[in-house]
Structure 1
Amino acid sequence: MIEFERLHHVSLAVRDLVRAKKFYSEVLGFPEIERPPFRSKGVWYAVGADQQLHLLEHPPGETLRTKGIDTTDGHFAIWVKSYSKTVAWLENIGVSYEARPDSVAGFAQIFILDPDHNIIELGAPYNS
């Protein structure tokens, strides 16, 4: 049996690395970390103490997601401390979201899209 320790990273395809970096650095505030000198273009971020997000610039002409938020589609989730503060931040900077403050998941959920329509879930304790 495989003995899992933790999730190491999630990789997402992006069309425009400069635009994606602006979103993940400025909107979400992820700190950039060093990336090995791969032949491909990309950027790595720290997400918490031990997890990472890797953005990889996808070759031109290839198809990526184009539709809006579909919570049954592939996505990654980040736990946040406060539902209300996160919603206030998103509204303040003009990021569209789908909120589920009373989700049956057992915690509040907020769904957003990055510029390439990758779905991001922000989970928080109820009433936080």
Structure 2
Amino acid sequence: MIEFQHLHHVSLAVRDLATARKFYEEVLQLQQIERPPLKSKGTWYAIGSQHLHLLENPNGEALRESGIDTIDGHFAIWVKSHSETVQYLEKSGVPYEARPNSVVGFTQIYILDPDNNIIEFDAPYDS
């Protein structure tokens, strides 16, 4: 039996690392962390004790082309407040799809990064 401890990281393919970094660092304000000297081109971010790894794939193979589809692959980040997150996204000009009364037991907000990777923000109800 495998004894799972926690999710370590999520990796996303991006077409242009500079464009992706601008979004994740300037818009989402993620903290970049040190990345080992790998042969691939990429950058790593800390999200709590987990990581988000962006890997440049300029050929665009296996990258999404369409908008938000919540049954497609995505990753979710728990945030403190649904309303504050919506306000921040609006102030930053980031389009989103909000589900403040989601049946899953918490609120949900979906956005797309510049490469159409889906990011979900979850928060408690009434936050």
TM-score per shorter chain, which class?
A: over 0.9
User: What is the Cα-based RMSD across aligned positions, in Å?
Assistant: 0.9
Q: Cα deviations across residues 80-112 of structure 1 (Å, max 9, x unaligned)?
A: 000000000000011000000000010000000
Q: How many residues are paired up?
A: 127
Report 1:9-88 matches (<5 A): 9-48=9-48, 50-60=49-59, 62-88=61-87
Q: Which runs of 4+ in 1 moved over 2 A?
A: 59-63
Say if 2:15 and 2:60, in contact at 8 Å, map to a contact too.
Answer: no
| Compared CA separation, residues 80 and 16, structure 1 to 2 (3 A) | same
Letter of the aligned partner of 1:2 in structure 2?
Answer: I
Instruction: Tell me what 2:122 maps to.
Output: 123
CA shift at 1:60, angstroms? 2.2
Counterpart Cα distance in 1 of 2:33 and 2:50: 11
Instruction: Tell me what 2:5 maps to.
Output: 5
| Compared CA separation, residues 63 and 8, structure 1 to 2 (3 A) | closer
TM-score by length of 2: 0.97
Say if 2:14 and 2:58, in contact at 8 Å, map to a contact too.
Answer: no
Counterpart Cα distance in 2 of 1:59 and 1:78: 26
Report 1:100-111 matches (<5 A): 100-111=99-110
Aligned residue for 1:127, secondary structure, equals coil
TM-score by length of 1: 0.97
Letter of the aligned partner of 2:16 in structure 1?
Answer: D
Identity %: 71
> Is there any run of 5+ residues in structure 1 with no aligned partner, and where?
none
